[in-house]
Structure 1
Amino acid sequence: MPGTAGPGPSARPEPAAIADTGPKTMVLTGASRGIGHATVRLFAESGWRIITCSRQPFNRDRCPWEEGPDDHVQVDLNDHRALALAIHDIKARLAGRPLHALINNAGISPKSEDGGRLSSLTTPVATWMEVFHVNFLAPVLLARGLFDELKAGQGTVVNVTSIVGSRVHPFAGTAYATSKAALACLTREMAHDLAPHGIRVNAIAPGEIKTDILSPETEERLAPLIPMRRVGSPMEVAKVLYFLCSDAASYVTGEEIHINGGQTL
Protein backbone atom coordinates (compact mmCIF):
# COMPACT_ATOMS: atom_id res chain seq x y z
CA MET A 1 0.00 0.00 0.00
CA PRO A 2 1.38 3.41 -0.87
CA GLY A 3 2.85 5.28 2.06
CA THR A 4 2.85 2.33 4.49
CA ALA A 5 6.17 0.61 3.81
CA GLY A 6 7.76 1.57 7.13
CA PRO A 7 11.39 1.09 8.08
CA GLY A 8 13.47 -1.75 6.70
CA PRO A 9 15.19 -2.85 3.51
CA SER A 10 12.08 -2.18 1.39
CA ALA A 11 11.42 1.28 2.82
CA ARG A 12 11.37 4.31 0.56
CA PRO A 13 14.44 6.55 0.43
CA GLU A 14 14.21 9.24 3.08
CA PRO A 15 13.03 12.62 1.75
CA ALA A 16 15.43 15.53 1.64
CA ALA A 17 15.58 17.06 5.09
CA ILE A 18 13.98 20.41 5.75
CA ALA A 19 15.19 22.44 8.70
CA ASP A 20 13.13 21.70 11.85
CA THR A 21 11.89 25.23 12.36
CA GLY A 22 8.52 26.68 13.26
CA PRO A 23 5.89 25.07 15.46
CA LYS A 24 5.90 21.40 16.35
CA THR A 25 3.46 19.29 14.38
CA MET A 26 1.16 16.48 15.47
CA VAL A 27 -1.16 14.09 13.65
CA LEU A 28 -4.22 13.14 15.72
CA THR A 29 -7.00 10.71 14.86
CA GLY A 30 -10.46 11.05 16.36
CA ALA A 31 -10.25 14.79 17.05
CA SER A 32 -13.86 15.93 16.82
CA ARG A 33 -15.02 15.11 20.35
CA GLY A 34 -14.06 13.92 23.80
CA ILE A 35 -10.39 13.23 24.47
CA GLY A 36 -9.34 14.14 20.93
CA HIS A 37 -11.13 17.48 21.04
CA ALA A 38 -9.55 18.40 24.39
CA THR A 39 -6.14 17.33 23.09
CA VAL A 40 -6.36 19.60 20.05
CA ARG A 41 -7.35 22.52 22.28
CA LEU A 42 -4.44 21.97 24.66
CA PHE A 43 -1.77 21.46 22.00
CA ALA A 44 -3.06 24.34 19.85
CA GLU A 45 -2.93 26.68 22.85
CA SER A 46 0.71 25.63 23.26
CA GLY A 47 1.54 26.57 19.67
CA TRP A 48 1.46 23.16 17.99
CA ARG A 49 0.20 22.61 14.47
CA ILE A 50 -2.32 19.75 14.46
CA ILE A 51 -3.31 17.67 11.43
CA THR A 52 -6.57 15.94 12.33
CA CYS A 53 -8.10 12.79 10.86
CA SER A 54 -11.68 11.57 11.19
CA ARG A 55 -14.54 10.02 9.23
CA GLN A 56 -16.46 13.27 9.26
CA PRO A 57 -15.68 16.51 7.40
CA PHE A 58 -14.34 19.40 9.45
CA ASN A 59 -17.05 21.02 11.58
CA ARG A 60 -16.35 24.69 12.30
CA ASP A 61 -19.04 24.82 15.02
CA ARG A 62 -17.61 21.90 17.01
CA CYS A 63 -13.95 22.65 16.30
CA PRO A 64 -13.32 26.40 16.29
CA TRP A 65 -9.53 26.32 15.82
CA GLU A 66 -8.35 28.61 13.05
CA GLU A 67 -6.27 26.25 10.91
CA GLY A 68 -8.69 23.35 11.24
CA PRO A 69 -10.16 23.19 7.73
CA ASP A 70 -6.73 23.36 6.07
CA ASP A 71 -5.24 20.65 8.28
CA HIS A 72 -8.09 18.14 8.34
CA VAL A 73 -7.98 14.82 6.50
CA GLN A 74 -11.29 13.00 6.12
CA VAL A 75 -10.75 9.23 6.14
CA ASP A 76 -12.51 6.06 7.24
CA LEU A 77 -9.87 4.17 9.22
CA ASN A 78 -11.77 0.96 8.56
CA ASP A 79 -10.76 1.21 4.87
CA HIS A 80 -7.04 0.43 4.59
CA ARG A 81 -6.97 1.59 0.96
CA ALA A 82 -8.45 4.95 1.93
CA LEU A 83 -5.97 5.11 4.81
CA ALA A 84 -3.07 4.71 2.38
CA LEU A 85 -4.37 7.69 0.42
CA ALA A 86 -4.82 9.66 3.67
CA ILE A 87 -1.20 8.99 4.61
CA HIS A 88 -0.16 10.34 1.21
CA ASP A 89 -2.32 13.42 1.91
CA ILE A 90 -0.73 13.93 5.34
CA LYS A 91 2.77 13.65 3.88
CA ALA A 92 1.86 16.24 1.26
CA ARG A 93 0.66 18.61 3.97
CA LEU A 94 3.90 18.10 5.88
CA ALA A 95 5.83 18.85 2.67
CA GLY A 96 9.00 17.17 3.92
CA ARG A 97 8.89 18.79 7.34
CA PRO A 98 9.32 16.71 10.50
CA LEU A 99 6.47 15.17 12.46
CA HIS A 100 6.85 15.44 16.22
CA ALA A 101 3.87 13.43 17.44
CA LEU A 102 1.33 10.89 16.24
CA ILE A 103 -1.58 10.27 18.60
CA ASN A 104 -3.75 7.28 17.69
CA ASN A 105 -6.90 8.26 19.55
CA ALA A 106 -9.71 7.13 17.22
CA GLY A 107 -11.60 4.06 18.33
CA ILE A 108 -14.99 2.41 17.97
CA SER A 109 -16.96 0.41 20.55
CA PRO A 110 -20.01 -1.14 18.86
CA LYS A 111 -23.09 -2.20 20.79
CA SER A 112 -25.95 -4.57 20.03
CA GLU A 113 -29.15 -3.30 18.43
CA ASP A 114 -30.67 -2.71 21.87
CA GLY A 115 -27.55 -0.90 23.08
CA GLY A 116 -26.20 -3.85 25.06
CA ARG A 117 -22.74 -5.31 25.36
CA LEU A 118 -21.47 -7.51 22.51
CA SER A 119 -19.79 -10.59 23.98
CA SER A 120 -17.47 -13.13 22.35
CA LEU A 121 -20.58 -15.21 21.61
CA THR A 122 -22.63 -12.45 20.00
CA THR A 123 -20.16 -10.22 18.11
CA PRO A 124 -20.61 -10.60 14.33
CA VAL A 125 -17.50 -11.40 12.30
CA ALA A 126 -17.86 -8.15 10.33
CA THR A 127 -17.87 -6.21 13.60
CA TRP A 128 -14.70 -7.94 14.76
CA MET A 129 -13.00 -6.95 11.50
CA GLU A 130 -14.16 -3.34 11.66
CA VAL A 131 -13.10 -2.88 15.29
CA PHE A 132 -9.64 -4.31 14.71
CA HIS A 133 -9.13 -2.31 11.52
CA VAL A 134 -9.91 0.97 13.31
CA ASN A 135 -8.58 0.32 16.82
CA PHE A 136 -5.50 -1.77 16.04
CA LEU A 137 -4.43 -1.89 12.39
CA ALA A 138 -4.80 1.84 11.63
CA PRO A 139 -2.30 2.89 14.35
CA VAL A 140 0.46 0.63 13.02
CA LEU A 141 -0.18 1.64 9.40
CA LEU A 142 -0.08 5.33 10.31
CA ALA A 143 3.19 4.90 12.23
CA ARG A 144 4.75 2.93 9.37
CA GLY A 145 3.52 5.33 6.73
CA LEU A 146 4.80 8.39 8.60
CA PHE A 147 8.05 6.77 9.77
CA ASP A 148 10.37 9.08 7.79
CA GLU A 149 8.69 12.21 9.15
CA LEU A 150 8.66 10.89 12.73
CA LYS A 151 12.33 9.98 12.48
CA ALA A 152 13.17 13.44 11.15
CA GLY A 153 11.37 15.02 14.09
CA GLN A 154 12.70 12.52 16.65
CA GLY A 155 9.02 12.25 17.38
CA THR A 156 6.74 10.21 19.58
CA VAL A 157 3.77 7.93 19.03
CA VAL A 158 1.04 7.63 21.64
CA ASN A 159 -1.60 4.93 21.35
CA VAL A 160 -4.84 5.37 23.29
CA THR A 161 -5.71 2.00 24.82
CA SER A 162 -8.24 1.52 27.63
CA ILE A 163 -8.85 0.15 31.08
CA VAL A 164 -10.91 -2.56 29.39
CA GLY A 165 -7.76 -4.01 27.81
CA SER A 166 -6.87 -5.63 31.13
CA ARG A 167 -10.25 -6.43 32.74
CA VAL A 168 -13.80 -7.41 31.79
CA HIS A 169 -16.02 -4.35 31.67
CA PRO A 170 -19.80 -4.33 32.18
CA PHE A 171 -20.47 -2.19 29.09
CA ALA A 172 -17.50 -2.37 26.68
CA GLY A 173 -17.74 -5.29 24.27
CA THR A 174 -15.29 -8.13 23.71
CA ALA A 175 -14.03 -6.91 20.33
CA TYR A 176 -13.29 -3.45 21.72
CA ALA A 177 -11.55 -4.87 24.80
CA THR A 178 -9.35 -7.30 22.89
CA SER A 179 -8.43 -4.68 20.30
CA LYS A 180 -7.22 -2.39 23.10
CA ALA A 181 -5.25 -5.23 24.71
CA ALA A 182 -3.64 -5.91 21.34
CA LEU A 183 -2.83 -2.20 20.96
CA ALA A 184 -1.06 -2.24 24.34
CA CYS A 185 1.08 -5.15 23.16
CA LEU A 186 1.71 -3.38 19.86
CA THR A 187 2.90 -0.33 21.81
CA ARG A 188 5.68 -2.38 23.42
CA GLU A 189 6.67 -3.93 20.10
CA MET A 190 6.72 -0.58 18.30
CA ALA A 191 8.73 0.99 21.13
CA HIS A 192 11.35 -1.72 20.69
CA ASP A 193 11.40 -1.40 16.89
CA LEU A 194 11.45 2.40 16.67
CA ALA A 195 13.72 3.30 19.60
CA PRO A 196 16.93 2.88 17.53
CA HIS A 197 15.53 5.53 15.17
CA GLY A 198 14.95 8.05 17.96
CA ILE A 199 11.16 7.58 18.04
CA ARG A 200 9.43 6.95 21.37
CA VAL A 201 6.19 4.93 21.57
CA ASN A 202 3.91 4.92 24.60
CA ALA A 203 0.26 4.36 25.44
CA ILE A 204 -2.33 5.79 27.78
CA ALA A 205 -5.15 3.66 29.18
CA PRO A 206 -8.06 5.87 30.25
CA GLY A 207 -10.70 4.56 32.61
CA GLU A 208 -14.14 6.15 32.87
CA ILE A 209 -13.84 9.54 31.16
CA LYS A 210 -16.80 11.89 30.70
CA THR A 211 -17.20 11.80 26.92
CA ASP A 212 -20.04 11.12 24.48
CA ILE A 213 -19.23 7.40 24.62
CA LEU A 214 -19.91 7.27 28.39
CA SER A 215 -23.57 6.75 29.20
CA PRO A 216 -25.21 8.28 32.31
CA GLU A 217 -25.82 4.71 33.50
CA THR A 218 -22.09 3.96 33.33
CA GLU A 219 -21.17 7.05 35.34
CA GLU A 220 -23.85 6.44 37.95
CA ARG A 221 -22.87 2.80 38.40
CA LEU A 222 -19.10 3.04 38.31
CA ALA A 223 -18.24 6.42 39.90
CA PRO A 224 -18.90 5.15 43.47
CA LEU A 225 -16.47 2.26 42.84
CA ILE A 226 -13.61 4.56 41.84
CA PRO A 227 -11.38 5.57 44.78
CA MET A 228 -11.50 9.22 43.68
CA ARG A 229 -15.34 8.90 43.54
CA ARG A 230 -15.69 10.54 40.14
CA VAL A 231 -15.07 9.97 36.47
CA GLY A 232 -12.24 11.79 34.70
CA SER A 233 -12.41 14.70 32.29
CA PRO A 234 -11.04 14.73 28.72
CA MET A 235 -8.64 17.55 29.63
CA GLU A 236 -7.10 15.42 32.40
CA VAL A 237 -6.28 12.84 29.74
CA ALA A 238 -5.04 15.48 27.29
CA LYS A 239 -2.53 16.75 29.86
CA VAL A 240 -0.96 13.28 30.14
CA LEU A 241 -0.76 13.10 26.36
CA TYR A 242 0.97 16.47 26.35
CA PHE A 243 3.53 15.21 28.88
CA LEU A 244 4.31 12.15 26.77
CA CYS A 245 4.84 14.33 23.69
CA SER A 246 7.07 16.79 25.53
CA ASP A 247 10.78 16.81 26.31
CA ALA A 248 9.85 16.02 29.93
CA ALA A 249 9.22 12.43 28.76
CA SER A 250 12.35 12.19 26.60
CA TYR A 251 13.50 8.94 28.29
CA VAL A 252 10.06 7.30 28.50
CA THR A 253 9.17 4.64 25.93
CA GLY A 254 7.26 1.38 25.89
CA GLU A 255 5.02 2.43 28.78
CA GLU A 256 1.25 2.31 29.24
CA ILE A 257 0.06 5.00 31.66
CA HIS A 258 -3.26 4.30 33.39
CA ILE A 259 -5.58 7.28 33.92
CA ASN A 260 -8.48 6.01 36.00
CA GLY A 261 -8.65 7.66 39.42
CA GLY A 262 -7.42 4.47 41.09
CA GLN A 263 -10.09 2.25 39.58
CA THR A 264 -7.69 -0.70 39.18
CA LEU A 265 -6.28 -0.55 42.73
Structure 2
Amino acid sequence: MKQYLAFDIGGTQIKYGIVNQEGSILSQSLIDTEAHLGGPAIIEKVIALSQSIIENHSVNGVAISTAGQVDIHTGMIVGAGETIPNYTGVEVKNLVSNALDLPVEVRNDVDCAALGEQWLGNHDTSNLIALTVGTGIGGAIVIDGKMYSGHTFSAGEWGYMLIEGEPFEKNASISGLIRFAQRYKENRNWTGKEIFDLYDQGDVNIKTAVSQFYKYLAIGISNLIYIFNPEKVIIGGGLTARGDTFVQEVRLEMQKHLQPSFYRNTEIVLAKLSNNAGMIGAVYNFLKKQN
Protein backbone atom coordinates (compact mmCIF):
# COMPACT_ATOMS: atom_id res chain seq x y z
CA MET A 1 0.00 0.00 0.00
CA LYS A 2 1.31 3.45 -0.89
CA GLN A 3 2.24 5.82 1.88
CA TYR A 4 2.99 9.52 2.01
CA LEU A 5 4.91 11.95 4.13
CA ALA A 6 2.43 14.53 5.43
CA PHE A 7 3.05 17.92 7.02
CA ASP A 8 0.65 20.35 8.68
CA ILE A 9 2.47 23.66 9.11
CA GLY A 10 0.90 25.98 11.68
CA GLY A 11 2.09 29.19 13.25
CA THR A 12 3.10 27.42 16.47
CA GLN A 13 3.77 23.78 15.60
CA ILE A 14 4.41 21.53 12.64
CA LYS A 15 2.65 18.17 12.73
CA TYR A 16 4.19 15.54 10.51
CA GLY A 17 4.09 11.83 9.91
CA ILE A 18 3.40 9.02 7.50
CA VAL A 19 -0.12 8.50 6.17
CA ASN A 20 -1.21 5.72 3.85
CA GLN A 21 -3.49 5.97 0.82
CA GLU A 22 -6.53 5.10 2.93
CA GLY A 23 -5.93 8.01 5.29
CA SER A 24 -4.58 5.99 8.20
CA ILE A 25 -1.82 7.70 10.16
CA LEU A 26 1.03 5.24 10.59
CA SER A 27 3.27 7.55 12.62
CA GLN A 28 3.24 11.17 13.69
CA SER A 29 5.32 13.74 15.56
CA LEU A 30 5.31 17.41 16.53
CA ILE A 31 7.99 20.07 16.34
CA ASP A 32 7.97 23.81 17.04
CA THR A 33 7.50 25.90 13.91
CA GLU A 34 9.80 28.69 15.11
CA ALA A 35 7.77 30.95 12.85
CA HIS A 36 9.80 34.02 13.89
CA LEU A 37 12.66 32.66 11.77
CA GLY A 38 10.52 33.20 8.67
CA GLY A 39 8.97 31.19 5.87
CA PRO A 40 12.17 30.05 4.11
CA ALA A 41 13.57 28.66 7.38
CA ILE A 42 10.36 26.70 7.96
CA ILE A 43 10.63 25.04 4.57
CA GLU A 44 14.30 24.24 5.22
CA LYS A 45 13.12 22.52 8.41
CA VAL A 46 10.47 20.56 6.46
CA ILE A 47 13.10 19.42 3.96
CA ALA A 48 15.53 18.36 6.70
CA LEU A 49 12.82 16.38 8.51
CA SER A 50 11.79 14.75 5.24
CA GLN A 51 15.35 13.73 4.40
CA SER A 52 15.73 12.13 7.81
CA ILE A 53 12.46 10.20 7.49
CA ILE A 54 12.91 8.93 3.94
CA GLU A 55 16.26 7.44 4.87
CA ASN A 56 14.33 4.79 6.78
CA HIS A 57 10.89 4.80 5.14
CA SER A 58 9.72 4.46 1.57
CA VAL A 59 7.21 7.16 0.64
CA ASN A 60 5.46 7.93 -2.62
CA GLY A 61 5.20 11.67 -2.21
CA VAL A 62 4.95 14.62 0.17
CA ALA A 63 1.60 16.19 1.11
CA ILE A 64 1.71 19.61 2.79
CA SER A 65 -0.99 21.55 4.61
CA THR A 66 0.09 25.04 5.58
CA ALA A 67 -1.09 28.32 7.03
CA GLY A 68 -1.34 31.06 4.43
CA GLN A 69 -2.97 31.48 1.04
CA VAL A 70 -1.63 28.90 -1.38
CA ASP A 71 -1.70 28.77 -5.17
CA ILE A 72 -3.11 25.25 -5.52
CA HIS A 73 -1.47 24.82 -8.93
CA THR A 74 2.08 25.99 -8.23
CA GLY A 75 2.23 25.40 -4.49
CA MET A 76 3.50 28.92 -3.88
CA ILE A 77 2.45 31.04 -0.89
CA VAL A 78 0.56 33.98 -2.38
CA GLY A 79 -0.32 35.61 0.92
CA ALA A 80 0.47 35.15 4.60
CA GLY A 81 -0.31 36.92 7.83
CA GLU A 82 2.12 38.31 10.37
CA THR A 83 2.33 34.97 12.16
CA ILE A 84 4.88 33.69 9.63
CA PRO A 85 7.08 36.53 8.34
CA ASN A 86 8.61 36.39 4.87
CA TYR A 87 6.35 33.55 3.80
CA THR A 88 4.64 35.27 0.87
CA GLY A 89 6.33 34.28 -2.38
CA VAL A 90 7.97 31.12 -1.02
CA GLU A 91 7.67 28.37 -3.65
CA VAL A 92 7.01 25.54 -1.23
CA LYS A 93 6.16 22.86 -3.79
CA ASN A 94 9.19 23.45 -6.00
CA LEU A 95 11.63 23.78 -3.10
CA VAL A 96 10.55 20.55 -1.40
CA SER A 97 10.15 18.57 -4.62
CA ASN A 98 13.57 19.57 -5.96
CA ALA A 99 15.27 18.81 -2.64
CA LEU A 100 13.70 15.37 -2.23
CA ASP A 101 13.11 14.33 -5.84
CA LEU A 102 9.53 13.40 -4.93
CA PRO A 103 6.12 14.65 -6.09
CA VAL A 104 4.72 17.31 -3.73
CA GLU A 105 1.31 18.96 -3.33
CA VAL A 106 0.55 21.95 -1.10
CA ARG A 107 -2.73 23.48 0.07
CA ASN A 108 -4.05 25.87 2.71
CA ASP A 109 -4.45 24.27 6.14
CA VAL A 110 -8.16 24.91 6.62
CA ASP A 111 -8.86 23.68 3.08
CA CYS A 112 -6.95 20.52 3.97
CA ALA A 113 -8.88 20.11 7.21
CA ALA A 114 -12.15 20.37 5.25
CA LEU A 115 -10.88 17.89 2.64
CA GLY A 116 -9.99 15.46 5.40
CA GLU A 117 -13.46 15.79 6.89
CA GLN A 118 -15.00 15.37 3.44
CA TRP A 119 -12.94 12.21 2.86
CA LEU A 120 -13.17 10.38 6.18
CA GLY A 121 -15.55 12.36 8.38
CA ASN A 122 -18.69 10.54 7.14
CA HIS A 123 -20.58 13.82 6.89
CA ASP A 124 -22.55 12.59 3.87
CA THR A 125 -22.91 15.95 2.15
CA SER A 126 -21.47 17.65 -0.90
CA ASN A 127 -22.31 21.19 0.25
CA LEU A 128 -20.62 22.42 3.40
CA ILE A 129 -18.58 25.15 4.96
CA ALA A 130 -15.93 24.53 7.60
CA LEU A 131 -14.61 26.82 10.31
CA THR A 132 -11.65 26.40 12.59
CA VAL A 133 -12.01 28.38 15.79
CA GLY A 134 -8.58 28.82 17.35
CA THR A 135 -6.30 31.79 17.93
CA GLY A 136 -7.98 33.18 14.83
CA ILE A 137 -10.73 31.88 12.54
CA GLY A 138 -10.19 30.11 9.25
CA GLY A 139 -12.67 28.76 6.73
CA ALA A 140 -13.20 26.49 3.76
CA ILE A 141 -16.01 26.02 1.26
CA VAL A 142 -17.18 22.85 -0.51
CA ILE A 143 -19.82 23.32 -3.23
CA ASP A 144 -21.26 20.33 -5.09
CA GLY A 145 -18.45 18.18 -3.73
CA LYS A 146 -15.66 20.48 -4.90
CA MET A 147 -13.46 22.74 -2.81
CA TYR A 148 -13.95 26.37 -3.82
CA SER A 149 -10.69 28.32 -3.58
CA GLY A 150 -11.59 31.67 -5.12
CA HIS A 151 -9.92 33.89 -7.69
CA THR A 152 -6.64 34.27 -5.80
CA PHE A 153 -6.96 31.11 -3.67
CA SER A 154 -8.21 33.12 -0.69
CA ALA A 155 -11.85 32.04 -0.36
CA GLY A 156 -12.85 31.28 3.21
CA GLU A 157 -10.72 33.98 4.83
CA TRP A 158 -13.77 35.11 6.75
CA GLY A 159 -11.84 35.72 9.93
CA TYR A 160 -11.31 39.18 8.39
CA MET A 161 -14.97 39.99 7.70
CA LEU A 162 -16.41 42.71 9.89
CA ILE A 163 -18.97 42.00 12.60
CA GLU A 164 -20.17 45.21 14.24
CA GLY A 165 -17.17 47.01 12.77
CA GLU A 166 -14.48 44.61 13.98
CA PRO A 167 -12.89 41.52 12.39
CA PHE A 168 -14.89 38.35 13.04
CA GLU A 169 -11.88 36.56 14.50
CA LYS A 170 -11.11 39.37 16.95
CA ASN A 171 -14.17 38.52 19.03
CA ALA A 172 -15.24 35.01 18.00
CA SER A 173 -11.90 33.21 18.43
CA ILE A 174 -10.23 31.80 21.54
CA SER A 175 -8.25 35.05 21.63
CA GLY A 176 -11.52 36.99 21.72
CA LEU A 177 -12.95 34.77 24.44
CA ILE A 178 -9.85 35.31 26.58
CA ARG A 179 -9.99 39.07 26.05
CA PHE A 180 -13.62 39.16 27.16
CA ALA A 181 -12.74 37.15 30.27
CA GLN A 182 -9.89 39.51 31.12
CA ARG A 183 -12.28 42.45 31.19
CA TYR A 184 -13.84 40.94 34.29
CA LYS A 185 -10.94 39.04 35.82
CA GLU A 186 -7.65 40.68 34.97
CA ASN A 187 -4.06 39.62 35.64
CA ARG A 188 -4.59 36.06 34.58
CA ASN A 189 -3.39 34.09 31.56
CA TRP A 190 -6.58 32.27 30.70
CA THR A 191 -7.10 29.19 28.57
CA GLY A 192 -10.39 28.43 26.86
CA LYS A 193 -10.87 25.37 29.06
CA GLU A 194 -10.40 27.37 32.27
CA ILE A 195 -12.95 29.93 31.12
CA PHE A 196 -15.55 27.29 30.30
CA ASP A 197 -14.90 25.49 33.58
CA LEU A 198 -15.84 28.68 35.46
CA TYR A 199 -18.76 29.21 33.07
CA ASP A 200 -20.11 25.76 33.94
CA GLN A 201 -19.69 26.56 37.64
CA GLY A 202 -21.98 29.57 37.19
CA ASP A 203 -19.46 32.40 37.55
CA VAL A 204 -21.56 35.48 36.74
CA ASN A 205 -18.81 37.57 35.17
CA ILE A 206 -17.46 34.69 33.09
CA LYS A 207 -21.00 33.92 31.91
CA THR A 208 -21.14 37.47 30.54
CA ALA A 209 -17.80 36.99 28.78
CA VAL A 210 -18.83 33.67 27.22
CA SER A 211 -22.16 35.14 26.12
CA GLN A 212 -20.32 37.91 24.27
CA PHE A 213 -18.09 35.35 22.55
CA TYR A 214 -21.06 33.22 21.48
CA LYS A 215 -22.91 36.28 20.20
CA TYR A 216 -20.14 37.18 17.75
CA LEU A 217 -19.57 33.56 16.71
CA ALA A 218 -23.28 33.03 16.06
CA ILE A 219 -23.66 36.25 14.04
CA GLY A 220 -20.68 35.32 11.88
CA ILE A 221 -21.87 31.77 11.22
CA SER A 222 -25.40 33.00 10.54
CA ASN A 223 -24.11 35.43 7.92
CA LEU A 224 -22.16 32.64 6.24
CA ILE A 225 -25.25 30.47 6.16
CA TYR A 226 -27.18 33.26 4.46
CA ILE A 227 -24.43 33.53 1.82
CA PHE A 228 -23.69 29.86 1.11
CA ASN A 229 -26.85 28.01 2.20
CA PRO A 230 -24.79 24.93 3.13
CA GLU A 231 -26.27 21.64 4.24
CA LYS A 232 -23.73 21.46 7.06
CA VAL A 233 -21.41 23.76 8.97
CA ILE A 234 -18.43 21.83 10.34
CA ILE A 235 -16.63 23.48 13.26
CA GLY A 236 -13.14 22.48 14.34
CA GLY A 237 -10.48 23.92 16.62
CA GLY A 238 -9.60 23.78 20.28
CA LEU A 239 -12.97 24.83 21.70
CA THR A 240 -14.72 21.88 20.08
CA ALA A 241 -13.31 19.69 22.86
CA ARG A 242 -16.44 20.89 24.66
CA GLY A 243 -18.30 18.49 22.39
CA ASP A 244 -22.04 18.47 21.79
CA THR A 245 -22.55 21.04 24.54
CA PHE A 246 -20.59 23.50 22.41
CA VAL A 247 -22.81 22.80 19.39
CA GLN A 248 -25.98 23.23 21.45
CA GLU A 249 -24.77 26.54 22.88
CA VAL A 250 -23.81 27.87 19.44
CA ARG A 251 -27.16 26.82 17.96
CA LEU A 252 -29.09 28.41 20.83
CA GLU A 253 -27.41 31.75 20.10
CA MET A 254 -27.78 31.33 16.31
CA GLN A 255 -31.53 30.97 16.71
CA LYS A 256 -31.58 34.67 17.60
CA HIS A 257 -29.99 35.64 14.27
CA LEU A 258 -31.21 33.13 11.65
CA GLN A 259 -34.54 33.03 9.88
CA PRO A 260 -36.41 29.88 10.98
CA SER A 261 -36.15 28.11 7.61
CA PHE A 262 -32.36 28.58 7.51
CA TYR A 263 -32.07 27.44 11.11
CA ARG A 264 -34.10 24.28 10.51
CA ASN A 265 -32.30 23.31 7.31
CA THR A 266 -28.68 23.79 8.37
CA GLU A 267 -26.89 21.25 10.53
CA ILE A 268 -24.07 22.36 12.83
CA VAL A 269 -21.60 19.57 13.53
CA LEU A 270 -18.16 19.12 15.01
CA ALA A 271 -15.11 18.12 13.01
CA LYS A 272 -14.42 14.43 13.56
CA LEU A 273 -10.72 14.14 12.70
CA SER A 274 -9.55 16.51 15.42
CA ASN A 275 -5.92 17.63 15.09
CA ASN A 276 -5.21 15.06 12.39
CA ALA A 277 -7.54 16.59 9.78
CA GLY A 278 -4.82 18.75 8.21
CA MET A 279 -2.41 15.87 7.59
CA ILE A 280 -5.14 13.55 6.33
CA GLY A 281 -6.61 16.26 4.12
CA ALA A 282 -3.18 17.07 2.70
CA VAL A 283 -2.85 13.45 1.58
CA TYR A 284 -6.35 13.51 0.09
CA ASN A 285 -5.42 16.67 -1.81
CA PHE A 286 -2.24 14.94 -3.04
CA LEU A 287 -4.20 11.92 -4.27
CA LYS A 288 -6.76 14.11 -6.05
CA LYS A 289 -4.09 16.24 -7.71
CA GLN A 290 -1.78 13.43 -8.71
CA ASN A 291 -4.42 11.06 -10.10
TMscore range, shorter length: 0.3 to 0.5
Higher-helix-fraction structure: 2
Structure number with bigger Rg: 2
Q: TM-score, normalised by structure 2?
A: 0.34
User: Which structure carries more strand by proportion?
Assistant: 2
> TM-score, with normalisation over the residues of structure 1?
0.37
